A and B are shown apart, each in its own frame.
Chain A
Amino acid sequence: MQTAVKIEEYLQEVEESLGNEFQRKALDTFAVAYRTGRANAFTGMDVKGLIEEIAQAKDDGIRRMDELYQQFKQKAESMGVHVHLATTAEEANRIIARIAKDNDCKKVIKAKSMTAEETHLNNHLEAEGLKVVESDLGEWIIQMRGEGPSHMVMPAIHLSRYQVADLFAGVTKKEQNPDIQKLVKVARRELRKEYVEADMGISGSNFAVVETGTIGLVTNEGNARLATTLPRVHVALVGLEKLTPTLHDALRILRALPRNATGQQITSYVTWITGPNECKGAPDDKKVMHVVFLDNGRKKLAKDKDFAQILRCIRCGACANVCPVYRLVGGHKYGHVYIGAIGLIMTYFFHGKDKAKFLVQNCVNCGACKEVCAAGIDLPRLIKEIHAMIQDEDGHPAQSKLMGMVLKNRTLFHTLLKNMRWAQKPFAEREGQYIRHLPTVFMKEKDQDFRKLPTIADKAFRDEWKSIKPEVRNPTLRVALFSGCVQDFVYPEQMKAAVKIIASTGTVELDYPMKQSCCGLPVNMMGEKQAAVEVARQNVQAIDPSKFDYIMTMCASCASHLKHSYPKLLENDADLAPKVAQFADKVIDFSSFIHDVLQISSMKFNRSGKRIGYHAPCHLCRGLEVREAPREAINMAHDYVPTSEEEVCCGFGGSYSMKFPAISKTLLAKKMANLEAGDIAAVATDCPGCVMQIRGGMKAAGKDIEVKHVAELLAERLR
């Protein structure tokens, strides 16, 4: 559980987790195995279609939450189930404690429930004098350690067999062998006794099926079956979002849940409980059954046009499985109770701003979670929204406020950048284009020495445009170039390379609209939403989409921000809205443009025979779903060599790498190791940020692997 009260403390905690070798290795192996496991589990299925169906059905259920609750209640009560609605976590706990008291229960056996974690139910019941034992193996282990789960599906993934053996030695008062199969058998027999003694079983619920009044439980161990069978009283604690109108809705989610969670086709047990069943441990042979629905902010969320979608979550945990940050720091530092991407968001709504305020900053915005989410939730965007909301409530940090102010004023921003060229002179390395020492006003120097940072170019691209603009007599296409600030001011050579290649076709009229500014992603990342809106508006006004067939950018981050975030950012601007849609529609990345649109032939290039690796920028492969084009483009002039984890984030994330250098550094180290293992001469990528990160890392580590934009690698072989 994340408890820091100052950002410095949080950073410190994060660094400590980075030092937890066991956890990192465990999460690493899992992340790699998960990818294959999931792909196998979904073979032959229309995954996107399924996700779409789930999203729609859940949205429908969320809209009808009150009505579904009433229907479920009526149905279940007609069968003799007691149905409650708790407004707050505290109230849910009180209701359950009262049920225990009314039924004279002393011992509780619990089957895993994230909702009960959300309400901190165990603490409450224990304070009321009840004995509570978790029956899910992982939950039991962390319960005895006094910890919260570190993954939604695998709560004890952070622990080693040795830690478990030590723990079990304590419980059994016998020495334990750290053999996993044996430890599981010990748990089997220890826990059996707990079921026998319990008077009350508490479960969560994956589904509350309205048409039949049924509670559906998905487990592998079968503990939920025993916990809902042996004790005389059963209480199910259910979040209101689990209400599904029909059995079909539940079966549909069941198709995705285990596959997305762990790559299983289905879990060992799926249990459907309709009404109070036979229970020979009860005086009249009949179970006492209660269902406690939890609101805790859900009803309000359901009405929020933007955030209602988080109630679609089916708790598969996949968003954590693929998150590069979670993979490094684990659930205790990447969540409060709920962990992973969804955890960052839920923490804000269910556990409050204070618990969420650092967590939401620790997202590199790589988009991996969004792509994998079983319910199609736009997680990275919502994380940013919350970041911005918290800043609006708490006040903006001086740095991000300043950045927002500067970016809103294009002329000021560009003047500053140009002046930096002079300011940095004393810091620049003589031989290369790198900064020797960082001016300390910008960042803590020692934290940043894992990579060398580039200097500002002598001449910005915009200042050279006039002299390099190609002359085209009979253009078939008109294209606006969007450079983004990094290519404009730091790497103009990347832009020039692209211009050279496109000009070689003689068919495209290129234009560089001078009033364009930074795309605004950096301020959006810093939670300065208002500034991001402002900058977006300026750019849409600067580049009139009706005048161009395409708006091409060579920066993956700009491209996906222009395409996907602009319409969202400007949705309340009625005047601009039609233009924004047109604008977004025309945005294209360099590789797709030359490969798919211009269909440039490999005949244009002299093949080099050089082995080139590829790093897929997050915002290109997931943001724009561009995957083949860059690889095929490289292959026109060189030998593209696949390397491991090409689509995993390099750790740049703009200002993220300044704020969380330790994480950025570790992600980069892994990226470089994967690339190096490919025995390649150079790395191609199509985002200047990734170039900055990986090239700077290679340089700092003294490696002689070149890092270039795809356009540069192509331009150098142009015939």
Chain B
Amino acid sequence: MSVSQEKIELFTKKAEAVSAVVKRIGKLDEAYAYAVDVCLNKDACQLLLSGCENAISDEASDLCVAKAADKVMAAPKLADEQYAKLAKAAEKAGVKLIADGLRGHLAGIDIGFAVADLGLAETGSLVLDSSSEDLRLSTMISEINVVVLPLSKLRATSYEAEAELLPMMQKAPNYLAFITGASRTADIERVLAIGVHGPLELHILLWEDE
């Protein structure tokens, strides 16, 4: 194992400190099962979490009405073979899996599934090349974001990752995201509230890929 235990522990501690759920997995298959499981255990996207019980304006609620009753999981930019496996797991559970067309789901989807490009232990951050609009959207409009981080891609600090970040940014166009924890705000009376625009939960699966 080339990644030090210390680095993994630091990453876990920092990510958990911003309320991310962190799990270790041995094989990618476990990630598919995990994502499907999380999806099954949550309410369908008439999500209480996202506040469907609250009074919003008629126009805003119109957006939600258009939405399908199915549970939706999105996994854009997954390798074909990986996508096939995830699709199979999803199908068995009755979850609809999509790879694109996320603009058609702007009221929200249940799960966004992705594989991170890098991890930064010092802050518990994930780095995702989100140049694909669908990937960008799935990591933003999903209510729960499930991201696999291959441990071979875990770096100690942003400085240490710099040599890898730079070529990504140089390949224009590019849209790179550092994601740390769920979407949050402290704008009202400085009380921390999760999910103001983006996901309400972030689950990180640390994958022992080597």
Contacts and interface: CB of A to CB of B under 8 A. Distances in A.
Interchain residue pairs A-B with the least CB separation, the first 9: A185-B51, A174-B55, A275-B173, A222-B198, A138-B187, A275-B172, A270-B178, A184-B193, A272-B176
A444 interface: no
Given A174-B56, A266-B123, A266-B125, A271 B175 contact: yes
B179 A269 contact: yes
For A29, A188, A221, A265, which residue has the most chain B Cβ atoms within 10 angstroms? A188
Interface stretch (B22-30, B89-97, B146-154, B158-166): B158-166
B106 A196 contact: yes
Contact of A180 (B61, B122, B162, B193): B193
Q: Which of B51, B108, B187 has the most CB of A within 10 A?
A: B187
B3 interface: no
A274 B189 contact: no
A488 interface: no
A273 interface: yes
B173 A278 contact: yes
Interface stretch (B33-41, B79-87, B111-119, B128-136): B128-136
A280 B103 contact: yes
Interface stretch (A207-215, A363-371, A528-536): A207-215
Interface of A: 26, 29-30, 79-80, 135-138, 141, 154-157, 159-161, 164, 171-177, 180-193, 195-196, 209, 211-214, 220-223, 225-226, 229-230, 247-248, 251, 254-255, 262, 265-281, 287
Contacts of B185: 137-138, 184, 220-221
A247 B169 CA distance: 9
A202 to B, nearest CB: 16
Nearest to A182: B54
B174 A154 contact: no
A175 B176 CA distance: 40
Nearest to A164: B188
A157 B189 CA distance: 6
B50 A185 contact: yes
B100 to A, nearest CB: 9
Contacts of B62: 193
A265 B158 contact: no
A278 B172 contact: no
Given A192-B106, A229-B140, A276 B173 contact: yes
A221 to B, nearest CB: 5
A45 to B, nearest CB: 10
B197 interface: yes
Contacts of A80: 173
A137 B198 CA distance: 12
B55 A268 contact: no
Nearest to A188: B196
Nearest to B57: A172
A136 B187 CA distance: 9
Given A188-B50, A229-B175, 16 more contacts: A137-B187, A138-B187, A154-B190, A155-B187, A173-B57, A175-B55, A180-B191, A180-B193, A184-B185, A184-B193, A230-B103, A247-B165, A266-B180, A268-B18, A268-B198, A274-B170
Given A137-B196, A277-B174, A192 B180 contact: no
A214 B184 CA distance: 25
Say which size band chain B's interface belongs to: 35 or more
Given A185-B50, A192-B60, A222-B198, A229 B170 contact: no
Interface string B36-70: 00000000000000110011111111111000000
B172 A265 contact: no
Chain A residues touching B, majority SS: mixed
A226 B197 contact: yes
A402 B40 CA distance: 79
A135 B197 contact: yes
Contacts of B17: 265
B162 A271 contact: no
A265 B122 contact: yes
Given A189-B64, A193-B63, A270-B177, A278 B132 contact: yes
A317 to B, nearest CB: 13
B186 A154 contact: yes
A190 to B, nearest CB: 5
16 contacts: A79-B173, A138-B188, A156-B187, A185-B50, A186-B55, A191-B197, A192-B60, A192-B197, A193-B63, A212-B166, A221-B197, A225-B136, A230-B103, A265-B14, A265-B123, A271-B177
A263 B155 CA distance: 23
B106 A195 contact: yes
Nearest to A285: B133
B155 to A, nearest CB: 12
Q: Taking each of A26, A171, A209, A271, which has the highest tally of chain B beta carbons within 10 Å of its own beta carbon? A: A271
B86 to A, nearest CB: 22
A196 B162 CA distance: 34
A172 B122 contact: no
A26 B183 CA distance: 23
B74 interface: no
Contacts of B57: 171-174, 190
A160 B189 contact: yes
B162 A247 contact: yes
B206 interface: no
A271 to B, nearest CB: 6
A102 B64 CA distance: 32
Nearest to B159: A251
Given A141-B187, A269-B179, A274-B173, A186 B56 contact: yes
Contacts of B156: none
B78 interface: no
B140 A226 contact: yes
Given A137-B187, A184-B185, A229-B137, A267 B51 contact: no
Contacts of B60: 172, 189-190, 192-193
A172 B187 contact: no
Contacts of A195: 106
Given A192-B63, A221-B184, A248-B162, A157 B190 contact: yes
Contact of B187 (A154, A188, A255, A271): A154
B54 A196 contact: no
Given A223-B197, A274-B172, A268 B56 contact: no
Contacts of A182: 51, 54
A617 to B, nearest CB: 30
B98 to A, nearest CB: 14
Contacts of A157: 190
Contacts of B54: 177, 182, 185-186, 189
Contact of A269 (B59, B166, B177): B177
Nearest to A139: B187
B183 A222 contact: yes
**Max chain A Cβ within 10 angstroms of own Cβ: one of B103, B172, B179:** B172
Contact of A186 (B18, B51, B169): B51
B110 to A, nearest CB: 16
Nearest to B167: A212
Contacts of A190: 56-57, 60
A110 to B, nearest CB: 13
A136 B188 CA distance: 12
B58 to A, nearest CB: 8
Contacts of A280: 103, 133
B193 A262 contact: no
Most chain B C-beta atoms within 10 Å of own C-beta, residue among A181, A225, A287: A225
A254 B169 CA distance: 17
Nearest to A251: B158
A573 B165 CA distance: 50
A225 to B, nearest CB: 6
B167 to A, nearest CB: 10
Contacts of A277: 131, 133, 173-175
Nearest to B182: A268
Given A214-B169, A222-B197, A275-B172, A137 B56 contact: no
Given A186-B56, A247-B169, A180 B196 contact: no
